[in-house]
Structures are given as structure tokens and as C-alpha cells.
Amino acid sequence: MAAALRGLRGNGRRGGAGSGGGSPAPRDPHHTAPPSQPHRPLTLPPPARAGPAPWLWPRPAIPSLTPSLPPGLAAAAHPAGGPPLGARLLRQSCRRPAEPRAGSEPGGQLPEGVEYIPSRRGKNPMKMVGVAWYSLYARTRLGYLFYKRQVKKARERYPHGHSVSQPVGFGAVKILPIPVLSNNYSYLVIDTGSGRAAVVDPSDPLAVQAVIEEEGVLLEAILCTHKHWDHSGGNAALRQQHGSCKVYGSARDAVPELTNPLTDKEWVSVGCLRFEALVTPGHTVGHVAYVLDVAPFGGPPCLFAGDLLFLAGCGRLFEGSPETMLASLDVAVGLGEDTLLWPGHEYALECLTFASLLERDNPALERKLCWATQQRQEKRSTCPSTIGEEKSYNPFLRTHRRELQEALGLTRRSGEPCDAFRARVLSEVRRRKDLYKGT
């Protein structure tokens, strides 16, 4: 989400809303053969394929699908005699209130234990965005128009995706990372036996649809981690294209097109695929991570973390306190060291570089940074990681480590509970990361 916000300060042009085909008739859920696609196929150039690897499926390339700007939006963005709409709203929304109330989130009541954290000491970790601007992005049509503009720019800049990724398989389970926008990842997860599939965070519906058609599968579920447009912006278009598709997520987060609200530890089944929903607030009030159970196929658990956890990083605390985020990160750590981490963004190189400034004598961190540097020089994806790896170098998972605490100049106060001190460490790491560079 923050990547979408960083490029929105000056220009006022917005892209148009996504389009989709008609809704197909409902299908028999017990049908086991890969179903035919009743919807109108997209007209795409022949996809290029990477060279095969013995343990990976070839990666389908994402074709260039750049739409045109509707003239009405372009005219609205540049009113005669005035600055662009985005510039005017940005200038107004960055004015901080005199005394923002801690624990009060603009536009809604927060659950117990979750606190809305405004800017502190006059330094806004969201830089030029501001609390009001974040609310506009997350809750209004204006945010959707900004998202569409980012989609258009990303399609022009990265017609085949921002990274080269490779599908991973475990028996009848196939996971395809789809690089979308400037640094997001969507994930198409397929039951290869029945041809049924689920997609996690479909940021760009055309890119996701291209992979669905390439694989010849039936999309039955959209698993949305949170409401931000760069994770949920494709929900409506894909539901229009696949009429029987259900949208899962948290009711607290106002996920677009939500059909099936989830609670903590609730299960979602798609063919032989079973996902467990874990409510992990902090980045947003209703953030949900999904754990795919691959044990029946001899594989490790797969955590689709959205903006909870990145390689060497974590999401910003837009709608949660450090204590809330710490508890959510502890949920991820509790999944086990062999759990594969599939993050919502390609932030590895930036996050590892920042972490290396905190812990200058961490061999695991040095090795991972060298590896990630090589990967990104070749535009290769850095996911997945594992929870075990993350515990060795991710500062947001190392709040209990004395070396990190000393590097930050923090000591535990007399009588301070352990988790309260860890939350203070996490808050300081997050503050420094926000000042280092936005993610």
C-alpha cells in the first residue's frame, strides 16, 4: 500500500476502473475434471516461458495489458485554472490536527487492544501522506482512483512483471507468485487434481486473469489479507469475470466485494486446498494472514502474510499499536521454523540493507543480504523465505535479542513486563525504518 502512496503527490491523472466479462453459470462443486472456461477469454500475445527447472513449473509471463485513461477522469483531475486535484487534497490532508486522540481511528471504532497510532513528535512516519490522507486512500473512492493510476503506471513500466518468479509445487498443490504493480505479489494457488484455484490479494485483475487462463483453472476463491487497494483492488473485476467466485477476508476491514467474512482460525477449502485464516491486526484493524496446509502432500505450511511480515521486515502500523503488531508477529513465529513465508511485497533488498545497519555483526544477515543483492540484480524474486530464516535476521522478529536491544540503546526498565519491553523495541525499529525509507 505504501508503495502506491509514494508516487501520488504531484500528478492528478487517474486510471479508469477495471472491467470484466459476464458472470458464468454456477458450476458443480463436485466436478473433478478441470472445467472449461465459459467466460470470454482475454486477447493476449503468446506468453513467454522461462527455462524449466527439475523442481519448478515454468513461469508464465504476464503480458502487457495497459488500458487507456477515460477522458472524464483526466478532466476531473486537472480542473481549469487550478492545481491537480491530488496536489490540492494532499496539501490539505497533510495538516496535522492540534491534538490527535490516541486510540481513535478516523472513521471507525477499533477493537479492544488495537490502538490507532498518529504521528509522534511532529515526525510523520507516513512522510507526506498524513493521517487524513491515509484515511482518504483506505476508505474512499479517491483511494481507488489513485490505485488505478498506479496499476496503469506499473503495466507500462513492467509489462511482464517487476520480478522473475518460479512456481513451486508440492504434490497436487501448485503455488504461482504473480508480480504485480511496482512491488506487490499476488499468489495463485492451484489444486492440480481438480483444476480449482484460489488467489491471494489480486492487485491487478488483468495480470491474475492472464495466469488463470494460462493455467486453465477455475477460480473459486479470493483470499484477501486486508482492505488496502494494492491488495484488494482486483476483487470486483475478478468476481465479475468468475460469477461463482467467493471473496474471503475480515469484516472489520471493509474488504471490497466481501462475500464470506472470516473469524480467527476459520478454515477455507478449495478442492484439496485448505487454508486457515489467522487474524493478525496491526497493519490494519482486520488484517488476516492465510496458512495453507500442505502436510497431506509432504510439504511445509505456507504463510501468505500480506503486509504482516516481509522478508526482513513487517508492515507499517497504520491502525495498530506496537503491542498489537508484536502479538500478531508472535502468531507467525509460532507456526514453526519450516513454514514458508510468501509476503505481499518485494521489499527484501531494502529491508535487509536496513537490518544490516542495526546488526553489523550478524553472519546470517550478511549471507542473506549478499544473496538478495544478486537476486535483485537479475530481477529475480526473493520469495519464499522461511520463518526460521526470518528469526535469524529480521529485526521485527528479534525484539527479544540483546544484541538488537543494545544496538538501539534500549534497556529494560525496572518492573517492565517482558512483552512491554519487546513492544518498545519493535516501536523503535519501526520508527527508524520509517525514517530510513518508506515501505
Q: What are the chain's domains?
A: 141-435 (3.60.15.10)
List 162, 228, 242, 287, catalytic entry: 228
What contacts 195, CB < 8 A, 6 or more positions away?
Answer: 33, 34, 35, 216, 217, 218, 271
pLDDT of residue 46: 42
Q: Per DSSP, what are the bridge partners of residue 170? A: 173
pLDDT of residue 1: 52
**Pairing relationship of beta strands 246-249 and 218-223 according to DSSP bridges:** parallel
List 191, 201, 204, 226, catalytic entry: 226
Whole-model pTM over 0.85: no
Whether a cis peptide bond, with omega within 30° of 0, leads into 384 is yes
pLDDT of residue 112: 41
307 in active site: yes
30 in active site: no
pLDDT of residue 91: 36
- How far, in Å, CA of 128 to CA of 236, rounded? 30
pLDDT of residue 295: 96
Burial class (CB in 10 A: 0-12, 13-18, 19+), 45: exposed
List 162, 231, 242, 287, catalytic entry: 231
H or E segment to which residue 149 belongs = helix 141-157
226 in active site: yes
List 191, 201, 204, 230, catalytic entry: 230
231 in active site: yes
pLDDT of residue 227: 96
Low-confidence ranges of the chain (pLDDT < 70): 1-130, 437-439
Q: ∠ CA(163), CA(168), CA(173), 5° rounding?
A: 135
**Pairing relationship of beta strands 246-249 and 260-261 according to DSSP bridges:** parallel
419 in active site: no
